[in-house]
Amino acid sequence: MGSSTDPALIVFAWGNESRGDDGIGPLLARRLLSLGRPALVVIEDHQLNIEHITDFVDDTPLLFIDASVSIESGIMLEQIEASGDGNFSTHAISPRALLNVYREATGNAPPPAYLLHVAGESFSLGEGLGDTGAASAETAWAFLEDLLRRPSSEWRAALSSGVA
């Protein structure tokens, strides 16, 4: 990162707000955007796409945020690596597969990447956030606020330690 305008963190948050707890990603993206932090780039989309590799900046850490059924409540942060995990199409891709596409397309190692799982359980069409999703979104927001209270130069280390 060569200039003071380079981001310190790139956040990808995705989901479908018309499918209940799947709207957690967009909800958190809007909150992050409202902070107006120049060192923070927030990319909100309906789903991850292979074109998102063009949003990577050198070795700037990536934080992926998504609703998850892999945990029952709250949040879980995990560091992720590139993987040809099979979750891939021309229209949707998993974070691990996206990192793999970056590696294959550029010949470079992908930036450090983290996945923030935010628990959800209600994903039916036409629903709003359920109780679990709403509570987990607030837990995720507290985590993000704590991370962003630190100087941006400390964000990478805080994510690496798994503690914000």
Which pTM was predicted? 0.92
- pLDDT reported for residue 6: 84
Query: What torsion, rounded to 10 degrees, do the Cα atoms 13, 128, 144, 87 define?
Result: -30
Q: Where are the domains of the chain?
A: 9-161
Angle formed by the axes of helices 131-149 and 24-34, nearest 10°: 30
H-helix or E-strand spanning residue 159: helix 155-161
Question: DSSP of 49-116, one letter per residue?
Answer: -GGGGGG--TT--EEEEEEESSSSSSEEEEEE-----S-B-SS-B-HHHHHHHHHHHHSSPPPPEEEE
- pLDDT reported for residue 1: 33
Architecture category of domain 9-161 in CATH: 3-Layer(aba) Sandwich (3.40)
Rounded to 5 degrees, what are φ and ψ at 102? -60, -50
- Per-residue model confidence as pLDDT tens for the chain (164 residues): 334 468 999 999 999 999 999 999 999 999 999 999 999 999 999 999 999 999 999 999 999 999 999 999 999 999 999 987 655 555 579 999 999 999 999 999 999 999 999 999 999 999 999 999 999 999 999 999 999 999 999 999 999 998 65
Contact at 8 Å (CB) between 17 and 48?
A: no
